[in-house]
A = this chain, B = another copy of it.
Protein backbone atom coordinates (compact mmCIF):
# COMPACT_ATOMS: atom_id res chain seq x y z
CA UNK A 1 0.00 0.00 0.00
CA UNK A 2 3.00 2.32 0.51
CA UNK A 3 3.23 2.84 -3.21
CA UNK A 4 -0.39 3.80 -3.58
CA UNK A 5 -0.83 7.47 -4.46
CA UNK A 6 -3.18 8.14 -1.58
CA UNK A 7 -1.91 6.30 1.42
CA UNK A 8 -3.76 8.46 3.97
CA UNK A 9 -0.50 8.83 5.81
CA UNK A 10 1.02 12.20 6.51
CA UNK A 11 4.43 13.30 7.70
CA UNK A 12 4.51 16.59 9.59
CA UNK A 13 7.96 18.02 9.12
CA UNK A 14 9.77 20.82 10.95
CA UNK A 15 9.90 22.08 14.51
CA UNK A 16 7.50 20.84 17.12
CA UNK A 17 6.88 21.94 20.68
CA UNK A 18 4.83 20.29 23.39
CA UNK A 19 4.82 19.92 27.15
CA UNK A 20 6.90 17.21 28.72
CA UNK A 21 5.84 18.02 32.24
CA UNK A 22 4.31 20.94 34.11
CA UNK A 23 7.68 22.65 34.23
CA UNK A 24 9.28 21.54 31.02
CA UNK A 25 8.69 22.22 27.35
CA UNK A 26 10.01 19.77 24.80
CA UNK A 27 11.25 21.82 21.86
CA UNK A 28 12.39 19.82 18.85
CA UNK A 29 13.80 22.19 16.23
CA UNK A 30 13.95 19.66 13.46
CA UNK A 31 11.53 16.79 13.69
CA UNK A 32 9.19 14.59 11.75
CA UNK A 33 5.93 13.14 13.04
CA UNK A 34 4.24 10.40 11.04
CA UNK A 35 0.47 10.16 11.32
CA UNK A 36 -1.36 7.09 10.05
CA UNK A 37 -4.70 6.89 8.30
CA UNK A 38 -6.27 6.21 11.71
CA UNK A 39 -5.25 9.74 12.76
CA UNK A 40 -2.78 8.42 15.31
CA UNK A 41 0.88 9.25 15.66
CA UNK A 42 2.85 6.33 14.22
CA UNK A 43 6.35 7.64 14.78
CA UNK A 44 8.27 10.65 16.00
CA UNK A 45 11.75 11.36 14.73
CA UNK A 46 14.02 14.02 16.16
CA UNK A 47 17.04 15.76 14.70
CA UNK A 48 16.15 14.90 11.12
CA UNK A 49 17.78 17.87 9.40
CA UNK A 50 20.62 15.58 8.30
CA UNK A 51 18.53 12.92 6.67
CA UNK A 52 15.74 15.25 5.55
CA UNK A 53 12.19 14.34 4.75
CA UNK A 54 13.28 11.85 2.13
CA UNK A 55 15.42 10.09 4.70
CA UNK A 56 12.48 9.88 7.06
CA UNK A 57 10.27 8.45 4.33
CA UNK A 58 12.89 5.87 3.55
CA UNK A 59 13.41 4.92 7.18
CA UNK A 60 9.73 4.17 7.62
CA UNK A 61 9.00 3.04 4.09
CA UNK A 62 6.41 5.84 3.87
CA UNK A 63 7.36 6.93 0.38
CA UNK A 64 3.91 8.06 -0.65
CA UNK A 65 2.94 9.82 2.52
CA UNK A 66 1.64 13.34 2.22
CA UNK A 67 3.93 16.05 3.53
CA UNK A 68 3.08 19.04 5.66
CA UNK A 69 5.95 21.41 6.40
CA UNK A 70 5.96 24.24 8.88
CA UNK A 71 7.92 27.36 7.97
CA UNK A 72 11.26 28.17 9.57
CA UNK A 73 9.85 30.45 12.25
CA UNK A 74 6.93 28.18 13.11
CA UNK A 75 6.22 24.91 14.85
CA UNK A 76 3.59 22.26 15.46
CA UNK A 77 1.89 22.44 18.84
CA UNK A 78 -0.82 20.27 20.41
CA UNK A 79 -4.38 21.50 20.02
CA UNK A 80 -5.78 23.47 22.93
CA UNK A 81 -8.46 22.09 25.22
CA UNK A 82 -11.13 24.46 26.48
CA UNK A 83 -12.45 22.81 29.63
CA UNK A 84 -15.31 25.27 30.17
CA UNK A 85 -17.14 27.31 27.57
CA UNK A 86 -20.78 28.36 27.22
CA UNK A 87 -21.31 28.06 23.47
CA UNK A 88 -24.69 29.71 23.87
CA UNK A 89 -23.24 32.86 25.39
CA UNK A 90 -20.75 33.57 22.62
CA UNK A 91 -22.69 36.53 21.18
CA UNK A 92 -22.23 38.28 24.54
CA UNK A 93 -18.42 38.02 24.53
CA UNK A 94 -17.25 41.37 25.87
CA UNK A 95 -20.67 42.43 27.14
CA UNK A 96 -20.75 42.42 30.92
CA UNK A 97 -20.37 45.99 32.08
CA UNK A 98 -19.47 46.23 35.74
CA UNK A 99 -21.69 43.32 36.77
CA UNK A 100 -20.82 40.42 39.04
CA UNK A 101 -22.00 36.84 38.73
CA UNK A 102 -25.57 36.86 40.01
CA UNK A 103 -26.73 40.10 38.39
CA UNK A 104 -24.76 39.23 35.25
CA UNK A 105 -26.81 36.04 34.91
CA UNK A 106 -30.11 37.85 35.04
CA UNK A 107 -29.13 40.91 33.04
CA UNK A 108 -27.11 39.47 30.20
CA UNK A 109 -27.06 35.73 30.23
CA UNK A 110 -30.49 34.21 30.74
CA UNK A 111 -32.15 36.40 28.08
CA UNK A 112 -29.56 35.36 25.48
CA UNK A 113 -29.61 31.68 26.39
CA UNK A 114 -33.39 31.69 26.41
CA UNK A 115 -33.44 33.07 22.88
CA UNK A 116 -31.57 30.03 21.54
CA UNK A 117 -34.76 28.03 21.61
CA UNK A 118 -34.98 29.47 18.10
CA UNK A 119 -33.05 26.89 16.09
CA UNK A 120 -31.98 29.27 13.33
CA UNK A 121 -30.53 31.60 15.89
CA UNK A 122 -28.85 28.66 17.61
CA UNK A 123 -27.35 27.57 14.29
CA UNK A 124 -25.90 31.04 13.66
CA UNK A 125 -24.34 31.10 17.11
CA UNK A 126 -23.08 27.52 17.26
CA UNK A 127 -21.70 27.50 13.73
CA UNK A 128 -19.72 30.56 14.60
CA UNK A 129 -18.47 29.51 18.02
CA UNK A 130 -17.19 26.17 16.75
CA UNK A 131 -15.48 27.80 13.75
CA UNK A 132 -14.08 30.54 15.94
CA UNK A 133 -12.67 28.22 18.59
CA UNK A 134 -11.20 25.91 15.95
CA UNK A 135 -9.54 28.90 14.32
CA UNK A 136 -7.95 29.64 17.69
CA UNK A 137 -6.50 26.14 17.88
CA UNK A 138 -9.11 24.64 20.22
CA UNK A 139 -9.43 21.01 19.18
CA UNK A 140 -11.57 19.91 22.14
CA UNK A 141 -14.11 21.79 24.22
CA UNK A 142 -16.44 21.07 27.13
CA UNK A 143 -19.53 23.02 26.10
CA UNK A 144 -22.51 24.30 28.00
CA UNK A 145 -25.37 24.74 25.52
CA UNK A 146 -28.84 25.74 26.84
CA UNK A 147 -31.85 23.89 28.28
CA UNK A 148 -33.23 23.32 24.76
CA UNK A 149 -32.86 19.77 23.45
CA UNK A 150 -33.03 20.52 19.69
CA UNK A 151 -30.50 23.36 19.92
CA UNK A 152 -28.19 21.29 22.12
CA UNK A 153 -28.40 18.41 19.66
CA UNK A 154 -27.58 20.86 16.90
CA UNK A 155 -24.40 21.89 18.71
CA UNK A 156 -23.38 18.21 18.76
CA UNK A 157 -24.13 17.93 15.02
CA UNK A 158 -22.05 21.01 14.27
CA UNK A 159 -19.04 19.80 16.31
CA UNK A 160 -19.18 16.46 14.55
CA UNK A 161 -19.50 18.00 11.14
CA UNK A 162 -16.73 20.56 11.65
CA UNK A 163 -14.54 17.94 13.31
CA UNK A 164 -14.07 19.43 16.77
CA UNK A 165 -14.10 17.19 19.85
CA UNK A 166 -17.02 18.34 21.91
CA UNK A 167 -18.47 17.44 25.27
CA UNK A 168 -22.02 18.63 24.82
CA UNK A 169 -23.95 19.69 27.89
CA UNK A 170 -27.67 20.34 27.94
CA UNK A 171 -28.00 22.81 30.81
CA UNK A 172 -30.08 21.63 33.78
CA UNK A 173 -31.75 24.33 35.87
CA UNK A 174 -35.05 23.84 37.63
CA UNK A 175 -34.68 26.51 40.32
CA UNK A 176 -33.98 30.22 40.82
CA UNK A 177 -34.30 30.78 37.09
CA UNK A 178 -36.63 33.10 35.20
CA UNK A 179 -39.98 31.69 34.08
CA UNK A 180 -39.04 31.99 30.43
CA UNK A 181 -35.92 29.92 30.88
CA UNK A 182 -36.07 27.01 33.28
CA UNK A 183 -36.66 23.28 33.40
CA UNK A 184 -40.21 22.42 34.38
CA UNK A 185 -39.48 19.54 36.74
CA UNK A 186 -36.91 17.00 37.82
CA UNK A 187 -38.52 14.48 35.49
CA UNK A 188 -38.17 16.79 32.53
CA UNK A 189 -34.56 17.55 33.50
CA UNK A 190 -33.75 13.86 33.29
CA UNK A 191 -35.87 13.16 30.21
CA UNK A 192 -34.36 16.09 28.30
CA UNK A 193 -30.83 15.21 29.34
CA UNK A 194 -31.42 11.62 28.19
CA UNK A 195 -32.82 12.89 24.91
CA UNK A 196 -29.55 14.66 24.13
CA UNK A 197 -27.50 11.68 25.27
CA UNK A 198 -29.52 9.52 22.95
CA UNK A 199 -29.08 11.88 19.99
CA UNK A 200 -25.32 11.94 20.50
CA UNK A 201 -25.21 8.16 20.75
CA UNK A 202 -27.02 8.07 17.39
CA UNK A 203 -24.66 10.41 15.57
CA UNK A 204 -21.38 9.25 17.13
CA UNK A 205 -21.94 5.85 18.77
CA UNK A 206 -18.35 5.41 19.98
CA UNK A 207 -18.06 9.04 21.04
CA UNK A 208 -15.02 9.39 18.85
CA UNK A 209 -15.61 13.12 18.64
CA UNK A 210 -18.73 14.14 20.49
CA UNK A 211 -19.93 12.92 23.86
CA UNK A 212 -22.67 14.03 26.22
CA UNK A 213 -21.80 15.65 29.52
CA UNK A 214 -24.24 15.94 32.40
CA UNK A 215 -24.57 19.62 33.22
CA UNK A 216 -26.30 20.89 36.34
CA UNK A 217 -25.84 24.64 35.75
CA UNK A 218 -24.63 25.22 39.30
CA UNK A 219 -26.00 24.32 42.72
CA UNK A 220 -28.29 27.38 43.09
CA UNK A 221 -30.02 26.53 39.79
CA UNK A 222 -30.96 23.02 40.87
CA UNK A 223 -33.10 21.67 43.66
CA UNK A 224 -31.60 18.99 45.86
CA UNK A 225 -33.68 16.24 44.28
CA UNK A 226 -32.63 17.44 40.85
CA UNK A 227 -28.96 17.19 41.80
CA UNK A 228 -29.52 13.71 43.21
CA UNK A 229 -31.32 12.57 40.07
CA UNK A 230 -28.45 13.88 37.95
CA UNK A 231 -25.98 12.14 40.26
CA UNK A 232 -27.83 8.87 39.67
CA UNK A 233 -27.76 9.45 35.90
CA UNK A 234 -24.03 10.24 36.10
CA UNK A 235 -23.46 6.90 37.82
CA UNK A 236 -25.76 4.92 35.59
CA UNK A 237 -24.58 6.32 32.28
CA UNK A 238 -20.90 6.79 32.98
CA UNK A 239 -21.14 10.12 31.15
CA UNK A 240 -18.90 12.90 32.42
CA UNK A 241 -20.32 15.76 34.46
CA UNK A 242 -19.59 19.49 34.55
CA UNK A 243 -20.74 22.31 36.76
CA UNK A 244 -19.57 25.49 38.48
CA UNK A 245 -18.18 25.80 41.99
CA UNK A 246 -17.30 28.65 44.31
CA UNK A 247 -17.03 31.37 41.70
CA UNK A 248 -17.83 34.40 43.84
CA UNK A 249 -18.60 35.12 47.46
CA UNK A 250 -22.31 36.01 47.26
CA UNK A 251 -22.82 32.79 45.29
CA UNK A 252 -21.06 30.76 48.00
CA UNK A 253 -23.26 32.43 50.62
CA UNK A 254 -26.33 31.65 48.54
CA UNK A 255 -25.37 27.98 48.37
CA UNK A 256 -24.95 27.87 52.16
CA UNK A 257 -28.42 29.35 52.49
CA UNK A 258 -30.03 27.03 49.93
CA UNK A 259 -28.36 23.85 51.21
CA UNK A 260 -28.17 24.32 54.99
CA UNK A 261 -27.54 20.64 55.63
CA UNK A 262 -24.42 20.57 53.48
CA UNK A 263 -21.00 21.13 55.01
CA UNK A 264 -19.78 23.11 52.01
CA UNK A 265 -20.39 23.95 48.37
CA UNK A 266 -18.32 20.92 47.35
CA UNK A 267 -20.31 18.78 49.74
CA UNK A 268 -23.56 19.74 47.97
CA UNK A 269 -22.25 18.06 44.83
CA UNK A 270 -20.60 15.22 46.74
CA UNK A 271 -23.70 14.21 48.59
CA UNK A 272 -25.61 14.16 45.29
CA UNK A 273 -23.05 11.80 43.72
CA UNK A 274 -21.80 14.51 41.40
CA UNK A 275 -18.27 14.86 42.73
CA UNK A 276 -16.33 12.11 40.99
CA UNK A 277 -13.22 11.57 38.91
CA UNK A 278 -15.36 12.37 35.88
CA UNK A 279 -16.47 15.78 37.15
CA UNK A 280 -15.25 19.12 35.82
CA UNK A 281 -15.64 21.98 38.28
CA UNK A 282 -15.33 25.46 36.80
CA UNK A 283 -13.78 28.35 38.76
CA UNK A 284 -12.91 27.04 42.26
CA UNK A 285 -11.99 30.54 43.37
CA UNK A 286 -13.07 30.52 47.01
CA UNK A 287 -12.68 26.87 48.03
CA UNK A 288 -11.83 26.07 51.64
CA UNK A 289 -8.98 23.73 52.48
CA UNK A 290 -11.53 21.05 53.35
CA UNK A 291 -13.18 21.41 49.96
CA UNK A 292 -9.83 21.16 48.19
CA UNK A 293 -9.07 18.00 50.14
CA UNK A 294 -12.43 16.53 49.22
CA UNK A 295 -11.97 17.41 45.54
CA UNK A 296 -8.50 15.88 45.57
CA UNK A 297 -9.86 12.75 47.27
CA UNK A 298 -12.68 12.39 44.73
CA UNK A 299 -10.22 13.14 41.89
CA UNK A 300 -12.53 15.75 40.45
CA UNK A 301 -11.01 18.17 37.97
CA UNK A 302 -10.77 21.97 37.97
CA UNK A 303 -11.33 24.31 35.05
CA UNK A 304 -9.46 27.53 35.82
CA UNK A 305 -11.21 30.46 34.11
CA UNK A 306 -8.95 33.46 34.73
CA UNK A 307 -10.48 35.91 32.25
CA UNK A 308 -13.95 35.42 33.59
CA UNK A 309 -12.86 35.58 37.21
CA UNK A 310 -11.17 38.90 36.56
CA UNK A 311 -13.88 40.38 34.34
CA UNK A 312 -16.70 39.59 36.77
CA UNK A 313 -14.53 40.54 39.78
CA UNK A 314 -15.06 37.03 41.15
CA UNK A 315 -11.60 36.66 42.64
CA UNK A 316 -8.32 34.88 41.99
CA UNK A 317 -8.20 31.09 41.92
CA UNK A 318 -5.15 29.74 43.77
CA UNK A 319 -3.80 27.58 40.96
CA UNK A 320 -0.37 27.00 42.50
CA UNK A 321 -1.99 25.72 45.67
CA UNK A 322 -4.27 23.37 43.75
CA UNK A 323 -1.37 22.06 41.66
CA UNK A 324 0.73 21.57 44.80
CA UNK A 325 -2.10 19.51 46.27
CA UNK A 326 -2.08 17.30 43.20
CA UNK A 327 -5.43 18.51 41.91
CA UNK A 328 -5.80 18.35 38.12
CA UNK A 329 -6.25 21.78 36.52
CA UNK A 330 -7.00 22.88 32.97
CA UNK A 331 -7.99 26.19 31.40
CA UNK A 332 -11.46 27.40 30.44
CA UNK A 333 -12.46 30.46 28.47
CA UNK A 334 -15.82 30.55 30.25
CA UNK A 335 -17.27 32.52 27.36
CA UNK A 336 -19.01 34.90 27.99
CA UNK A 337 -18.12 35.55 31.62
CA UNK A 338 -14.77 35.37 29.87
CA UNK A 339 -14.55 37.76 26.95
CA UNK A 340 -12.38 35.69 24.62
CA UNK A 341 -12.80 32.31 22.88
CA UNK A 342 -9.02 31.80 22.81
CA UNK A 343 -7.22 29.39 25.13
CA UNK A 344 -3.94 31.12 24.28
CA UNK A 345 -5.48 34.29 25.72
CA UNK A 346 -6.45 32.23 28.79
CA UNK A 347 -2.85 31.07 29.18
CA UNK A 348 -1.88 34.75 29.35
CA UNK A 349 -4.74 35.53 31.71
CA UNK A 350 -3.67 32.66 33.97
CA UNK A 351 -0.26 34.29 34.17
CA UNK A 352 -1.80 37.67 35.02
CA UNK A 353 -4.00 36.21 37.74
CA UNK A 354 -1.02 34.35 39.18
CA UNK A 355 0.90 37.64 39.26
CA UNK A 356 -1.91 39.29 41.21
CA UNK A 357 -1.89 36.43 43.70
CA UNK A 358 1.90 36.77 43.91
CA UNK A 359 1.59 40.47 44.75
CA UNK A 360 0.00 39.57 48.06
CA UNK A 361 1.02 35.96 48.68
CA UNK A 362 4.55 35.76 47.30
CA UNK A 363 6.50 34.71 44.27
CA UNK A 364 5.76 30.99 44.50
CA UNK A 365 2.26 31.74 43.15
CA UNK A 366 3.60 32.83 39.77
CA UNK A 367 2.88 30.53 36.87
CA UNK A 368 5.46 30.25 34.11
CA UNK A 369 5.01 30.13 30.35
CA UNK A 370 5.70 26.40 30.48
CA UNK A 371 3.12 25.84 33.19
CA UNK A 372 0.26 27.67 31.52
CA UNK A 373 0.95 25.94 28.22
CA UNK A 374 0.79 22.67 30.11
CA UNK A 375 -2.57 23.64 31.60
CA UNK A 376 -3.78 24.55 28.09
CA UNK A 377 -2.89 21.12 26.68
CA UNK A 378 -1.91 18.21 28.94
CA UNK A 379 -3.79 19.64 31.92
CA UNK A 380 -6.92 20.16 29.85
CA UNK A 381 -6.64 16.65 28.43
CA UNK A 382 -6.63 15.24 31.97
CA UNK A 383 -9.60 17.40 32.91
CA UNK A 384 -11.69 15.91 30.09
CA UNK A 385 -10.27 12.39 30.65
CA UNK A 386 -8.44 12.14 27.32
CA UNK A 387 -4.85 12.38 28.54
CA UNK A 388 -3.96 9.12 26.82
CA UNK A 389 -5.11 10.43 23.45
CA UNK A 390 -4.55 14.20 23.24
CA UNK A 391 -2.59 17.06 24.78
CA UNK A 392 0.90 16.06 23.64
CA UNK A 393 2.85 14.37 20.90
CA UNK A 394 3.48 10.71 21.74
CA UNK A 395 3.41 7.62 19.57
CA UNK A 396 -0.09 6.16 19.72
CA UNK A 397 -1.79 9.44 20.57
CA UNK A 398 -4.18 11.18 18.20
CA UNK A 399 -2.93 13.96 15.93
CA UNK A 400 -4.82 16.87 17.48
CA UNK A 401 -2.49 19.66 16.56
CA UNK A 402 -2.07 23.17 15.29
CA UNK A 403 0.53 24.62 12.98
CA UNK A 404 1.85 27.87 14.44
CA UNK A 405 3.43 30.34 12.02
CA UNK A 406 5.34 33.38 13.19
CA UNK A 407 6.36 36.45 11.20
CA UNK A 408 9.98 37.25 10.48
CA UNK A 409 10.86 40.93 10.54
CA UNK A 410 12.89 41.98 7.52
CA UNK A 411 14.33 45.25 6.32
CA UNK A 412 11.64 45.40 3.68
CA UNK A 413 8.50 46.90 5.06
CA UNK A 414 6.78 43.56 5.23
CA UNK A 415 3.03 43.65 5.08
CA UNK A 416 1.55 43.59 8.56
CA UNK A 417 -1.76 42.35 7.16
CA UNK A 418 -0.64 38.91 6.19
CA UNK A 419 1.75 38.27 9.01
CA UNK A 420 0.43 37.73 12.50
CA UNK A 421 1.04 39.85 15.56
CA UNK A 422 4.27 38.12 16.64
CA UNK A 423 7.43 39.77 15.32
CA UNK A 424 10.48 37.51 15.26
CA UNK A 425 13.70 39.45 14.68
CA UNK A 426 15.84 36.40 14.14
CA UNK A 427 18.16 36.54 17.14
CA UNK A 428 15.67 35.01 19.60
CA UNK A 429 16.19 31.61 21.19
CA UNK A 430 13.47 28.99 20.73
CA UNK A 431 12.31 29.57 24.30
CA UNK A 432 12.01 33.27 23.50
CA UNK A 433 10.04 32.58 20.34
CA UNK A 434 7.58 30.41 22.26
CA UNK A 435 7.23 33.14 24.90
CA UNK A 436 6.65 35.80 22.24
CA UNK A 437 3.94 33.65 20.70
CA UNK A 438 2.36 32.99 24.08
CA UNK A 439 2.09 36.66 24.97
CA UNK A 440 1.21 38.18 21.61
CA UNK A 441 -0.03 35.35 19.42
CA UNK A 442 -3.57 34.96 18.19
CA UNK A 443 -5.57 33.08 15.58
CA UNK A 444 -3.57 34.67 12.80
CA UNK A 445 -0.66 32.52 13.93
CA UNK A 446 -2.77 29.38 13.63
CA UNK A 447 -2.17 28.36 10.02
CA UNK A 448 -3.92 25.02 10.27
CA UNK A 449 -5.61 22.75 12.80
CA UNK A 450 -6.08 18.98 12.79
CA UNK A 451 -8.25 16.70 14.93
CA UNK A 452 -7.55 12.96 14.73
CA UNK A 453 -5.49 13.71 11.64
CA UNK A 454 -8.31 15.51 9.84
CA UNK A 455 -7.66 19.06 8.69
CA UNK A 456 -10.43 21.00 10.42
CA UNK A 457 -9.28 24.59 9.94
CA UNK A 458 -6.84 26.38 7.74
CA UNK A 459 -6.04 29.96 6.97
CA UNK A 460 -5.96 31.14 3.39
CA UNK A 461 -2.21 31.44 3.55
CA UNK A 462 -1.86 27.74 4.49
CA UNK A 463 -0.50 25.57 1.75
CA UNK A 464 -0.96 22.04 2.92
A-side interface residues toward B, CB under 8 Å?
90-91, 93-95, 97-98, 120, 123-125, 127-128, 131-132, 135, 310-311, 313, 315-316, 339-340, 348, 351-352, 355-356, 358-359, 363, 366, 368-369, 409, 411, 413, 415-418, 421-423, 425, 427-428, 432, 435-440, 442-444, 459-461
Contacts and interface: CB of A to CB of B under 8 A. Distances in A.
A461 B359 CA distance: 44
B315 A439 contact: no
B95 A311 contact: no
Given A411-B123, A443-B421, A94 B438 contact: yes
A359 B436 contact: no
B93 A440 contact: yes
Copies of this chain held together in the complex: 2
Contacts of A355: 310-311, 313
Contacts of A352: 310-311, 352
A363 B439 CA distance: 29
26 contacts: A91-B423, A91-B428, A93-B439, A93-B440, A94-B437, A94-B440, A95-B428, A97-B368, A98-B366, A124-B409, A124-B425, A125-B425, A131-B413, A131-B416, A310-B355, A311-B351, A313-B355, A313-B358, A315-B359, A339-B439, A339-B440, A340-B439, A340-B440, A352-B352, A356-B356, A415-B460
A368 B99 CA distance: 11
A368 B98 CA distance: 7
B132 A416 contact: yes
A310 B423 contact: no
Contacts of A428: 91, 95
A254 to B, nearest CB: 19
Given A128-B423, A355-B313, A442-B442, A95 B417 contact: no
A319 to B, nearest CB: 15
A95 B411 CA distance: 22
Nearest to A91: B425
A127 to B, nearest CB: 7
A124 B411 CA distance: 6
Contacts of A440: 93-94, 339-340
A310 to B, nearest CB: 5
Nearest to A368: B98
Contacts of A415: 460
B124 A417 contact: no
A443 B443 CA distance: 13
